[in-house]
Structure 1
Amino acid sequence: MLDSLILSPTDFAALAYFLAAWLVHGLAASGRLVSRVSLSQAMNAQRAAWMRGMARRELRMIDTGIMVGLQQGTAFFASSSLIALGGCFALLNASAQVAQIVADMPYAGPYSRQAYEIKVFGLIAILAYSFFKFGWSYRLFNYCSILIGAVPMASDPGYEPKEIWAAADRAARMNMLAGSHFNSGLRGIFFSIGYLGWFINPLVFALTTSLLLAVLVRRQFFSEARLVALSEGSRGIGD
């Protein structure tokens, strides 16, 4: 029975570990798994502070400039995901040749064309997921721009302060939501790098997943960038 499987039990175990690492990291970064404040959560607080500051400003060119930068960055990653998807389909067209090249690599072990194609389809799924996350994030940043435009001026006598702060809060929550989807897409891109280890063998796959997870955990929970986002004073920036 096991001999007839295209993928070995070790492959399935490594894939399960990869998916679990991706899921656990996402939950931890969003604050749903651990109590320690992550970099993403700290930046959400800064997004809220930004929108409160925006509501007090008469001239909001700086805010629209920041939004343009966020949209351009999101569009860049969405386009990059599409380009990578096209590259994956090109790999499928040359699956026999590429599978042979991979099989000749050190420590690759026995390799079949069917196993190679399954792994490429998995990579396509990851990149497609990232593209849709970036695409939705881009649209949410557009919505946030509209909500920023809808925030009344603090000096406008026709609005009560609570109305102004409620409008700023709507813009902040939309910005946080857009940032959350952007982070999910970026997480998919990062984990696609760890996924490449599977093309060698499942043990390398588990190793690359572990190394990637260690880097991402450090950046979210133990980096200098996190300390800067949480601090009230100035610090030297080392990450």
Structure 2
Amino acid sequence: MESIANFVGLSGLDIVAVFVFLGVWQGISWWIEHPAAKHPSVTVLMSEYRRKWMMVMVRREPRIFDAQMMASLRQGTSFFASTSLLAMGGLLALIGNVDPLQNVTMQIGNLETPAMELQTKLILVLILLGNAFLKFVWSNRVFGYCSVMMGAVPNDPDDAQAIPLARKAAELNIRAALNFNRGLRSMYFALGAVAWVAGAWALFAACLVIGSLVWSREFASLPREIILNDIPDTKA
């Protein structure tokens, strides 16, 4: 590995920075999806509301609102899948011609970075964007499975199959949302990975900033407090 790193112009610090960066990305993802019971993440909290949604859907007539909600969720996954695909296309073009980026690094940090080194660093961004694209596409498809399962729920709420099918729809919905959130985190860290162009220490800093941002939105955000706590009645 050291010989490969030397060949593309990476230092030992670069290699350490990449492993730390990837470790934080995967570690925080695991933490979000498997939080302590006393301090759940927004992702886990919303999973329970998705289950409640499907239970309410069983007795809702007509189910137009539920269909609109599913269409909105699928539209979101399609938008982000298209966005990551466009970003990958632009990045591939930049990898093919890094001269403009070399000029930028010279102007900002007075760094003479070899073309191969820049290309290697941009590949990390490309991998993260590719992962995001795959997660969004899979999320879109699983939301589609959920839509079909919702359509299979009988109109009669007392039907023996109504609740079991609604529960299946809820679990599919949760799984689709899980992959959607993984795609979003991958895009967050792809933005952070761009900092590697400025050096290993910049990647460490970006890792800290992005990791803190993702953590705070899942564990210390105002929306989380709203989800967790009852809203007092403000009527006079």
Q: TM-score, normalised by structure 1?
A: 0.90
Q: How far apart are residue 108 of structure 1 and its match?
A: 5.9
Runs of at least 5 residues in structure 2 that lack an aligned partner in the other structure: none
The residue aligned with 1:115 is 117
Deviation by residue 1:174-226 (Cα, 9 ceiling, x = unmatched): 00000000001111001111111101111011101101111111110011111
Of the three residues 78, 86, 95, the one matched with 1:75 is 78
The residue aligned with 1:185 is 183
Instruction: Give the alignment of 1:36-51 within 5 angstroms.
Output: 36-51=39-54
The residue aligned with 2:146 is 144
Of the three residues 64, 68, 75, the one matched with 1:65 is 68
Whether 1:19 aligns to 2:22 is yes
Distance 2:23 2:215 in 1: 14
* Aligned residue-pair number: 230
User: Identical aligned pairs, as a percentage?
Assistant: 31
Deviates more, 1:3-12 or 1:59-68: 3-12
Q: What residue identity is the alignment partner of 1:174? A: L
Q: What residue identity is the alignment partner of 1:29? A: I
Q: How far apart are residue 58 of structure 1 and its match?
A: 2.2
SS of equivalent residue, structure 1 residue 149: helix
Contact 2:102 2:112 in 1 (8 A): no
Distance 1:41 1:19 in 2: 23
Of the three residues 205, 220, 232, the one matched with 2:218 is 220
Q: How far apart are residue 145 of structure 1 and its match?
A: 0.5
The residue aligned with 1:135 is 137
Of the three residues 89, 92, 95, the one matched with 2:95 is 92
| Distance 1:87-1:48 versus aligned 2 partners, 3 A rule | same
| Distance 1:224-1:9 versus aligned 2 partners, 3 A rule | same
Deviation by residue 1:30-56 (Cα, 9 ceiling, x = unmatched): 01x544200000011110110010011
Of the three residues 100, 106, 110, the one matched with 1:104 is 106
Instruction: Give the alignment of 1:184-203 within 5 angstroms.
Output: 184-203=182-201
Computed over aligned residues only, the root mean square deviation of the Cα atoms, in angstroms, reads 2.0
Deviation by residue 1:146-197 (Cα, 9 ceiling, x = unmatched): 01101112346xx22xx32111100000000000000011110011111111
Q: How far apart are residue 72 of structure 1 and its match?
A: 0.5
Q: How far apart are residue 125 of structure 1 and its match?
A: 1.0
Q: What residue identity is the alignment partner of 1:84? A: A
The residue aligned with 2:13 is 10
| Distance 1:234-1:65 versus aligned 2 partners, 3 A rule | farther
Q: How far apart are residue 93 of structure 1 and its match?
A: 2.2
Q: What residue identity is the alignment partner of 2:55? A: R
Distance 2:233 2:22 in 1: 36
Contact 2:193 2:203 in 1 (8 A): yes
| Distance 1:8-1:59 versus aligned 2 partners, 3 A rule | same
Deviation by residue 1:44-92 (Cα, 9 ceiling, x = unmatched): 1110110010011121000000000001011000000110010011102
